[in-house]
Copies of this chain bind each other. A is one copy, B any other.
Amino acid sequence: MSRDIKRIGVLTSGGDAPGMNAALRAVVRKGIFHGLRVYGISRGYEGLIHGELTEMSLGSVADIVLRGGTILKTARSAEMMTPEGQQKALEQLHKHEIDALVVIGGDGSFRGAQTLAKGIQIVGIPGTIDNDIPGTDLTIGFDTAVNTVIDAVGKIRDTATSHERTFVVEVMGRHCGNIALQAGIACGAESILVPEIPFDFDEICEKLKRGHQRGKNHSIIIVSEGAGSAYKIGEELHSRSGFDTRITILGHLQRGGNPSALDAVIAAAMGGKAVEIIMSKETNKMTAYVNQNVVSIPLDVAYGEMPPFNRELYDLANQLSI
């Protein structure tokens, strides 16, 4: 049977990130604009394996561009880790005559997609708040998460200043200190602790004391979760310096919220680029934000090494918080 109209599937996978809906909307709308039929797959690979595919209309993505989370829902799929699960997923794609699959998620989600690359075009869109995918300057959701953190730290600083206390604020980032670094410099944190750079308790205490001597009795210390437990760091600082410390773990609220302008724009541009990649018959590609432009790069780049941590910005943060 010959089909003229190409069918593409799209799913969101892994942790949700603000802007995923804007990317989805762009895939659906631009796909339909070019005459494709677009199928939304619910709950990531879990939904794909169980055949949860629905054709999406222009109206199905109305009013979602600035909504947080993902209307397709997302899940982590243990079954997709197994050859049997991958086989089932592939069968579903064939059964629905899907020619191309767009995966919005992180590198783990891209690996899952590549097991389906037999006869199916694969395009990844990097969506994760951690900004830890090589090859792209930004991942969808990162800018929003940093803005969420500085908003929360702003509130905490009111109390820190009023009570003259040291606050240790733990932010997301198990292996990557990008959220801590950007948020820390944006909100003028007194210290920033990241997994990439060892830190010295004595130095931090020294800085607290220097501030105290010139009459400044409050401090904000931003800690990536990968740099150590905020509770232990707070206790250690207290026992070494005598300063009153308080702890806040920002937790899940960093994942949510309406996307920032930047996230919504790059999400839309990446969704549009993904459709272009499909139409030009490429596969195993990832959309990437490089030098302020959205481009297409090989998907393999996502599995490579992260670019070095921005040491220059980190050093600047230290100089500005003397």
Contacts and interface: CB of A to CB of B under 8 A. Distances in A.
Interface of A: 12, 15-16, 18, 20, 22, 25-26, 29-30, 32-33, 43, 58-59, 62-63, 65-70, 73-75, 137, 143, 146-150, 152, 154-159, 161-164, 167, 182-183, 185-188, 214-216, 246-262, 264-265, 268-269, 272, 290-292, 313, 316-317, 319-322
A29 B190 CA distance: 13
Given A186-B264, A269-B316, A158 B66 contact: no
Nearest to A152: B253
B252 A251 contact: no
Contact of A167 (B30, B63, B154, B252): B252
Work out how many copies of this chain go into the complex: 4
Contacts of A167: 252
A261 B186 contact: yes
Of A68, A246, A291, the most chain B CB neighbours within 10 A belong to A68
B319 A30 contact: yes
Given A15-B159, A74-B163, A143-B262, 7 more contacts: A26-B316, A66-B187, A69-B159, A156-B256, A158-B255, A186-B268, A268-B316
Contact of A249 (B62, B150, B154, B251): B251
Contacts of A69: 157-159, 161-162
A246 B256 contact: no
A70 B218 CA distance: 13
A242 to B, nearest CB: 16
